[in-house]
Amino acid sequence: MSERLYTDVLVIGSGPGGATTAALLAENGFEVMLVEEGKHISIDDTPSYSLEEMGEKYRAGGLNSSFGATNVTMIEGRCVGGGSEVNAALYHRPKESQLDSWRREFNIAGFELSEIEPFFENVESELSVSKRPNTVGPSSLAISKGAKKCGWSSGEIERFWKYDKGEEATGGRRQSMTETMIPRFLKKGGRLLTGVRLERIKSRGGVATSAVGRRVGSGGKISIGFNVVFVCCGAIQTPLLLRRSGLRNVGDTLQMHPMIRFAARFPTEINDPKYGVPVVQIDEFKPAMTLGGSYSSLPHLALWLGHSVPDREEKLESWRQMAVFYVAVVSEGRGSIRHLPVVGEPLVRFPVSGEDMGALGLGVKRMGEALFEAGATELYHPNTGAPINDPRGLLELGEGLDRKGAAVSTIHLFSSCQMGERDDCPVDSWGALKGKVNVYVNDASILPTSPGVNPQGTIMAIVRRNVAHFLENRISRKRG
């Protein structure tokens, strides 16, 4: 027997896009059901960046990979709140020139800065976007020092983070979806259904009628009828669900920010875990390239240090003298997402190009120069783990990284269902799926191209804009 449910509005996926969509609709009087494949886990239930957290909150434990000449490890959230529960909560607005470029290139209506800016302001106010009230921590200070000595600009990045008055800089609380939009949704009577994987949307002609899938674990079948559905499963899972539902014009324009991480050693303690992820980035080469610091717990250091480092175990004993740093670049690549019927998981292809590997190598060289200027005594090659003891050892890296052995990863995925009025855009300027009268997409997949920065703030602002337009249309119909 299949379990049958019904709701006015169905929202599939509870990450920043889905949680925001569900909360705003519930607050405007709609009956909303929010469905999530993963578990409902608070930010206190698992230690941040731990193996336990990876197992509970990441899809496939964080080990999903794209296919290509260079595979990319893709980090996706799989829990209530999605990626907002596990990321660094860094917040950026994209440059005005980027928004204007999207508007012109993709023919997006209602996308002037004056029309979008209020939604960025909503995000910043309601999710307590702020800087640390006091110091930024030793790793961040090292990045600032190195950038200054190299003559490069750098700055502290704001975060979705709430600090109480008088609280130490190391305190405060991440303003993830389980801390913000999910409680708002539940307070207004929204129904949250977890452990349910919806695999296909059924339609009659141009009208979607229900979503079908199964209970995770038991495998029990479930069908949810609706009047309107918002698909908010993320840049991989959204096009996968739509392709399973018979659409073929989605999942051909996936974009990402390829990233390389590596470790560096200092003569004094540089690593203080109570500060979490470093909040300073080198701005000099943005948006094409971002240089910054990563979380540097002992397990993360062991991972990014590599196995060929001499005296590896001895070095790890003094792990507070080491930290992990990264380079992320904007790629011109376009990936694809396809459904694998037998295993039920997506086949993701992404062409990491020679230009991408060249940019990543140049980024490691630049970051390395800044770290040596900040006092680092040893860096570890991102391909081999071999120690580099002075800036001259960085010259070869500046020519590019070898595809073989390069541990390329990404935490930023987007643009697999691009928005706009252009014929090749699967959704319109407001996230409505073309060819269907009651299906909307409202997550990272609708970003036209790379925003050049951490995309979460941009996603949430556009999601709010699209929900506001949906509500305006509903009010207009009632009046008519």
Peptide bond connecting 287 to the previous residue in cis, omega within 30 degrees of 0: yes
Q: What phi, psi does 183 have (nearest 5°)?
A: -60, -35
The CA distance from 60 to 76, in Å, is 9
Helix pair 16-27, 456-479: axis angle to 10 deg:
30
The CA distance from 188 to 383, in Å, is 51
Query: Which residue among the candidates 92, 257, 381, 412 is catalytic per the annotation?
Result: 412
The answer to whether 449 and 102 have CB atoms below 8 angstroms apart is yes
Q: Which residues of 168-193 are buried (b: 16+ CB within 10 A; e: fewer)?
A: ebeebbbbbbbbbbbebbeebebebb
CA geometry: angle at 243 spanning 242 and 246, to 5°?
A: 95
CA 127, 168, 48, 44 torsion: positive or negative?
Answer: negative
Let me know if 412 is a catalytic residue. Answer: yes
The CA distance from 46 to 64, in Å, is 21
Q: Which residues of 197-220 are buried (b: 16+ CB within 10 A; e: fewer)?
A: bbeebebeeeebebbbbbebeeee
Sheet holding 173-174, edge to edge: 129-130, 159-162, 173-174
Q: Percentages helix, strand, coil for the chain, rounded to the nearest 5? A: 35, 25, 45
Helix pair 456-479, 113-126: axis angle to 10 deg:
110
Look up residue 238 and give its two tokens.
């959204």
Classify residue 88 as left (phi > 0), alpha (psi -120 to 50) or beta.
alpha
- Half-sphere exposure for 324 (CA within 13 Å, toward CB): 23
Q: Would you please indicate which residues are annotated as catalytic (active-site) residues?
A: 412
